[in-house]
Chain A
């Protein structure tokens, strides 16, 4: 394959992995297998499962976490962190400019108006809704991959309701139990303060002049596949987990129904998609939202996080323009490059997409979770023909990208370690400033050779260690 391996550099173990790999070799495959079994029962006991989409029966799997952690050295992390802060601040600026400002990027011809306004996640209704501190992407999940050269590239921005952070925290807890290592003491940056990080960010975007804001987490309910995470986050922050029916809007203010009467709500961290938030404005048949919620948000009495309409910026077509937006808003070069992407609505690019379709990845712009992706090198002729026809019929709905041969990482499969492809979803918080949670969710494609890491498509995950500055190695102990 000749791709980039995280651990092995032409057969030699990279310095920051030496101690870990030594330790794993000392433990041996038999005992690793035993500990691997412990992992499954750890997650099952805690009830940490997720629903697999496409199965109407509501099939649930336990969270598949791999035994071998992914390690990111301090200097690499500094680069990633700086790149993420740069990217998310520009995405915030672009969205605030789009919905509240003068739309400078559009007016200056950096990005076409029609492209923005035809994005699925663009919400005409979001115009004029204020976002305190301009923090519209309060929680962003930016998917990063490494190419053949080991260069970190942004694959996708998730700015609506990105999920997965609870697994980051639970993976770390599970790791400390199953493979006790000396990482908690000094070498590895902790992640368990996420709840207070998030709470701080949400407090910071409360509508002025509130100084002790009431924050709630809004969930679609127990039937939602990410309900575990919603309740986990509410617990970590010590705030109420509410459903739409627990809230009401009166006189442009949001209240929750409590046993002590109505209580004002200032910040709503919502895990409900835009279209379900307010039946008055969006889908009238939705029971998940709160009638009048957008009116209150527009009146500035409540902050909804993430902001409504963020989908205008994480559309896969708009993604292509993010490097230009970084140059436009900051006058800087992007620290983290994109993956080379072709846009079928540009006639010359369409021609070359169709010519090279067997060597490109085609993605529907509006899908997430790995659905609808066609990898040209792995697809049969019939699929390629159907994809080509679909692109021509509906160019705005697709983009094509060069195949990125995601980096590989030793992973415990069928009783021994074998290389599997991985990506990384770090979580970026925008409140009073921008913070990045050290590490993030490393997802791993468990079938050999597979490039699709999504958990809904048979992906697993890894605990992700970011080393402290000055630390060359993490030291696992028994």
Chain B
């Protein structure tokens, strides 16, 4: 297929997942503040912005309404949810022949809803409801994609984007909640653990495999390494590896394949205890870097055909 179509599908997946995870992180931060009032509000919001790499671009007050409005509805912010969904929609428009009509409609309608002024007002009044709505609309989109798209090359690229973004964002989500707290040597209470699990829809799944014990290391291990939970980092990376195998690239052992194997192995064989003791922050940062590397390698291999050529016959037309 055309590189442009593959790339647009890849980023379509990424943008939708990014919108969903941004809503999830907003949600966690809100709950964090509600349940552990010891954390200063300004600190919590600036940490969130930092994790999203938006701390340098945001100049408003560090409080819930302003930051939420910035992250949800600010079109001037390229990292906002409305921007992400807008870009997903731009991509989908150029892919009308490649994606199902249902998928196009789901994305288009979501964007049109987000762009309404009532929505912007709702962010201020009922933040929690808004985050929930965004999450469920993103899930609707991924569900529609799963139900209506043929499992061809294009679908695989879309899913690759989706999963890589999710793996990266789960790392970031953990960073927001965990690593920063650890750095301040704060202890998280029972409710805090529940909320972090709930924020990635993992609470019930966790309980089923771990009885009712909420051991911090177990929670971390679950979100990083669980083989069955679809938002765990390892689950995403293993899925990425399978999808990549199905793409049947020209190289037997490409650098993308090696990068995928490396980061999957790093996650799979990590020693949680050691990580917790030696520095979770650093580990999550490295993991994110390697996931980013995988994304780069895939883009290089599939989306950049011909860019390295020294083109001839330019001058002689």
Residue positions of A touching B, CB distance < 8 A: 125, 221-222, 231, 234-235, 240-243, 245-246, 248-252, 255-262, 278, 280-281, 291-296, 298-299
Contact = CB atoms under 8 A, between A and B. Distances in A.
B313 A249 contact: yes
A262 B313 contact: no
Contact of A294 (B94, B306, B317): B317
Nearest to A301: B313
11 contacts: A221-B94, A222-B94, A234-B97, A250-B313, A255-B306, A258-B2, A259-B3, A260-B250, A260-B305, A293-B317, A299-B313
Given A261-B250, A296-B313, 6 more contacts: A222-B93, A249-B314, A255-B306, A256-B2, A257-B303, A259-B3
Contact of B317 (A231, A259, A292): A292
A278 to B, nearest CB: 6
A295 B250 contact: no
**3 closest A-B pairs (Cβ-Cβ)?**
A295-B317, A257-B3, A257-B305
Contacts of A298: 317
B97 A248 contact: no
Interface in B130-178: 153, 157
B317 A280 contact: yes
Contacts of A125: 317
B114 interface: no
A292 B97 contact: no
Residue with the highest number of chain A CB atoms closer than 10 Å, among B2, B247, B309: B2
Kindly name the residue among B97, B153, B157, B306 whose own CB sees the greatest number of chain A CB atoms within 10 A: B306
Contact of B306 (A231, A250, A296): A250
A262 B306 contact: yes
B315 interface: yes
B4 A257 contact: yes
Nearest to B303: A259
A252 B313 contact: yes
A257 B96 contact: no
Contacts of B128: none
Interface centre among B2, B314, B317, by most A CB within 10 Å? B317
Contacts of A261: 250, 305-306
Nearest to B104: A47
Given A260-B250, A292-B317, A246 B311 contact: no
B96 A246 contact: no
Interface in B86-108: 93-94, 96-97
Interface string B283-317: 00000000000000000001111100101111111
B1 interface: yes
A375 B153 CA distance: 56
A292 B306 CA distance: 14
A348 B80 CA distance: 69
A340 to B, nearest CB: 42
B317 A278 contact: yes
Contacts of A249: 311, 313-314
B313 A259 contact: no
Contact of A245 (B4, B6, B250, B309): B4
Contact of A231 (B2, B97, B303): B97
A250 B93 CA distance: 30
Contact of A257 (B306, B316, B317): B306
B312 A252 contact: yes
B311 A250 contact: yes
A243 B313 contact: no
A277 B23 CA distance: 44
A246 B3 contact: yes
B243 to A, nearest CB: 13
A246 to B, nearest CB: 5
Interface string B235-261: 000000000000100100000000000
- Interface size on B, as a range, is 20 to 34
A461 B97 CA distance: 26
Considering residues B6, B153, B316, which has the most beta carbons from chain A within 10 angstroms of its beta carbon? B316
A380 B315 CA distance: 53
A268 to B, nearest CB: 14
Given A222-B93, A280-B317, A258 B312 contact: no
A117 B300 CA distance: 47
A246 B2 contact: yes
Nearest to B157: A259
A259 B160 CA distance: 14
Contact of A258 (B1, B309, B311, B317): B1
Nearest to B247: A259
Interface string B1-16: 1111010000000000
A248 B311 contact: yes
A294 B314 CA distance: 9
Contacts of A280: 314-315, 317
B314 A291 contact: yes
Nearest to A241: B97
Nearest to B301: A259
B105 to A, nearest CB: 11
Nearest to A282: B317
A393 to B, nearest CB: 36
Nearest to A47: B96
Nearest to B3: A257
Nearest to A298: B317
A243 B4 contact: yes
A291 B315 CA distance: 9
Contact of B309 (A235, A248, A278, A294): A248
A322 to B, nearest CB: 31
Given A222-B94, A250-B306, A259 B314 contact: no
A259 B206 CA distance: 39
Contacts of B305: 257-262
A291 B97 contact: no
Nearest to A46: B101
A426 B229 CA distance: 60
A281 B4 CA distance: 25
A43 to B, nearest CB: 15
Contacts of A235: 97
A222 B247 CA distance: 28
A66 to B, nearest CB: 27
B2 A242 contact: yes
A108 to B, nearest CB: 32
Contacts of A295: 313-314, 316-317
A450 B316 CA distance: 50
A281 B312 contact: no
Contacts of A248: 306, 309, 311
B314 to A, nearest CB: 5
A240 B1 CA distance: 8
A282 to B, nearest CB: 10
